[in-house]
Amino acid sequence: MFKRIMYNCEKAQRLTIKKQESKLTPYEYLQYRIHMQYCLVCRKFEQFSALLNQFLQRGRQGLEDQPPNKLSPEEKKELQRKIDEMS
């Protein structure tokens, strides 16, 4: 069982994502911690994933601060023309 916990990178990466979005169960947390202690690749994945989440949150906040973009009447007509051409 210990080998299965230690060498399952795919599961560790799923747990990393779950940990960032919600809470892990005690058993999941134990699996996660044991694997992370021995796997440099998954620790790097965790760092990259956290950095990506920070970047996306900043981008999302920036979008919420701006009013929604609207197409001009000319842009709407051009878009409709392209859609009609594709049909």
> Total structural domains in the chain?
1
Over range 28-53, report the average pLDDT: 90
* DSSP per-residue letters across 6-70: HT-HHHHHHHHHHHHHS---HHHHHHHHHHHHH-HHHHHHHHHHHHHHHHHHHHHHHHHHSPPP-
Can you give the residue range of the structural domain that contains 34? 2-86
Q: Higher model confidence: residue 17 or residue 63?
A: 17
- The predicted structure's pLDDT at residue 75: 82
